Amino acid sequence: MADKLIIFDTTLRDGEQSPGASMTRDEKLRIARQLERLKVDVIEAGFAASSNGDFECIKAIADAVRGSSICSLARANDRDIARAAEALKNAERARIHIFLATSALHMEKKLRMTPDQVYEQAQQAVRFARNLAADIEFSPEDGYRSDVDFLCRVLEAVIQAGATTINVPDTVGYAIPELYGDFIRTLRERIPNSDKAIWSVHCHNDLGMAVANSLAGVKIGGARQVECTINGLGERAGNCSLEEVVMAVKTRQDYFGLELGIDTRHILATSRLVSQTTGFVVQPNKAVVGANAFAHTSGIHQDGVLKARDTYEIMRAEDVGWSANKIVLGKLSGRNAFKQRLQELNVHMESESEINSAFARFKELADRKNEIFDEDIVALINEESIAHVRDAYSFVSLSQHSETGERPQASIVFTANGQEVRSSSEGNGPVDASLKAIEAHVKSGAEMVLYSVNAISGSTESQGEVTVRLQNNGRIVNGVGADPDIVVASAKAYLSALNKLQSKVDRVVAQGWP
Residues at the contact surface with Zn ion, assessed by CB under 5 A? 14
CB hemisphere CA count around 478 (13 angstroms): 24
Nearer to Zn ion, 99 or 338 (CB): 99
Instruction: Please list, in sequence order, all residues whose beta carbon lies within 8 angstroms of the beta carbon of residue 459, skipping any fewer than 6 positions away.
Output: none
Min separation Cβ 69 and ligand KIV, Å: 16
User: Which one, 240 or 345, has the nearer CB to ligand KIV?
Assistant: 240
Instruction: Identify any residues that bridge with 470 across adjacent strands, giving them in sequence order.
Output: 448, 477
Please state, in angstroms and rounded to a whole number, the distance separating the CA atoms of residues 255 and 38: 23
177 binds, among Zn ion, ligand KIV, none (CB under 5 to 8 A by kind): none
Q: Taking the complex as a whole, how short is the minimal distance between the CB of residue 169 and ligand KIV, in angstroms?
A: 3
CB 412 → ligand KIV: shortest distance, Å? 42
Kindly tell me which of 14 and 16 has the beta carbon lying closer to Zn ion: 14
**At closest approach, how far in Å is the CB of 37 from ligand KIV?**
25
Interacting partner of 150 out of ligand KIV, Zn ion, none (Cβ under 5 to 8 A depending on kind):
none
How far is Cα 441 from Cα 415, in angstroms, rounded to an integer? 11
> Where do contacts with ligand KIV occur on this chain (CB under 6 A)?
14, 73, 99, 139, 141, 167, 169, 171, 202, 204, 514
Is-contact 224 4, C-beta < 8 A? yes
20 or 234, CB closer to ligand KIV? 234
- Closest distance of CB 137 from ligand KIV, Å: 9
Beta bridge partners of 259: 4
What 8-state DSSP symbol labels residue 398?
E
Query: 22: closest CA among 244, 233, 269?
Result: 233
* Least distance in angstroms from the C-beta of 108 to ligand KIV: 17
Closest CA to 8 of 198, 149, 147: 198
- Tell me whether residue 476 is exposed, middle or buried, using C-beta atoms within 10 angstroms of its C-beta: 0 to 12, 13 to 18, 19 or more: buried
Between 173 and 427, CB nearer to ligand KIV: 173
99 binds, among Zn ion, ligand KIV, none (CB under 5 to 8 A by kind): ligand KIV
Question: Is-contact 288 250, C-beta < 8 A?
Answer: no
Antiparallel, parallel or unpaired: β 6-9 and 225-228 = parallel
266 binds, among Zn ion, ligand KIV, none (CB under 5 to 8 A by kind): none
- Nearest by Cα to 71 from 50, 44, 47: 44
Closest CA to 457 of 392, 362, 346, 376: 376
Nearest CB to ligand KIV, comparing residues 167 and 382: 167
Q: Which is nearer to ligand KIV, 14 or 243 (CB)?
A: 14
Helices 115-130 and 78-87 cross at an angle (nearest 10°) of: 30
By a kind-dependent CB cut-off of 5 to 8 A, residue 83 interacts, out of ligand KIV, Zn ion, none, with none
Which residue(s) pair with 168 in the sheet? 201
Q: Which does 464 bind (CB under 5 to 8 A by kind): Zn ion, ligand KIV, none?
A: none
Residue (230 or 412) nearer to ligand KIV, CB: 230
- Report the partner that residue 430 touches, choosing among Zn ion, ligand KIV, none (CB closer than 5 to 8 A by kind): none
Find the distance separating the first CA and the last CA of the chain, reported in whole Å.
35
Do residues 176 and 166 touch, judged by C-beta distance below 8 A?
no
390 binds, among Zn ion, ligand KIV, none (CB under 5 to 8 A by kind): none
CB of 174 to ligand KIV, least distance (A): 11
Question: Closest approach of Cβ 206 to Zn ion, in Å?
Answer: 11
